[in-house]
Structure 1
Amino acid sequence: MSDMFLEIIELDDGQIALKRADSDDEPIMRISFSESVREQLEEECIDVAKVMLTAGIHMISDLNIKAAETEGSDFDADLDDVDSQPRVIH
């Protein structure tokens, strides 16, 4: 399997995004900060976004490992049943 090289970029609209370095496809993940948070964090918002994106990458990796370990289970079927409404996470 080939390695996937990722890069963190700032989009024209101010969002911080993670994308494949070798592709012009849509970003894999995006982070958007409100204007008040941007003012509070100043230049630190890039560092906060990096930590958030890194956590997302680790979570996806863990889910992929779990799916591989439970191959043949209903893991993929569970993903298809996700409601289109946003989830509330407490």
Structure 2
Amino acid sequence: MSDMFLEIIELDDGQIALRRADSDDEPIMRISFSDSVREQLEEECIDVAKVMLTAGIHMISDLNGKAIDADNGVSEIESDDADPQPRVIH
């Protein structure tokens, strides 16, 4: 498996995004901060986004590892298409 190089960019609309460094395709992940949070964080906004994106990358890596390690080749990651409501995370 070849290495995938990623880059963090700021989009024209102010969102901070993660994308493949060798592509101009749609970003893999995006982070949006409200105007009030941007004002509060000032220059630290990028640093907060980096931490959030890094956590997302680690989580995806862990989930992919679980899917590969599942018994009999069955993935532990399942989608519930029957419930189109967004998940509420507390």
Deviant stretches of 4+, over 2 Å: 71-76
Unaligned runs of 5+ in 2: none
SS of the equivalent of 1:24 reads coil
The alignment covers a number of residue pairs equal to 88
Structure-1-length-normalised TM-score? 0.91
- SS of equivalent to 2:19: strand
Corresponding residue number in structure 2 for 1:73? 74
Q: Give me the identity figure in percent.
A: 83
Q: State the Cα distance separating 1:74 from its structure 2 match.
A: 4.8
CA distance in 1 between counterparts of 2:19 and 2:9 reads 8
User: What value does the CA root-mean-square deviation take over the aligned residues?
Assistant: 1.3
Give 1:61's aligned amino acid.
Answer: S
Superposition deviation, residue 70 in structure 1:
0.2
The aligned residue for residue 13 of structure 1 is 13
Q: CA deviation at 1:20?
A: 0.2
Q: Distance in 1 between matches of 2:87 and 2:39?
A: 28
Task: Normalising by structure 2, report the TM-score.
Answer: 0.91
- Aligned partners of 1:84, 1:47: CA distance in 2, in Å? 33
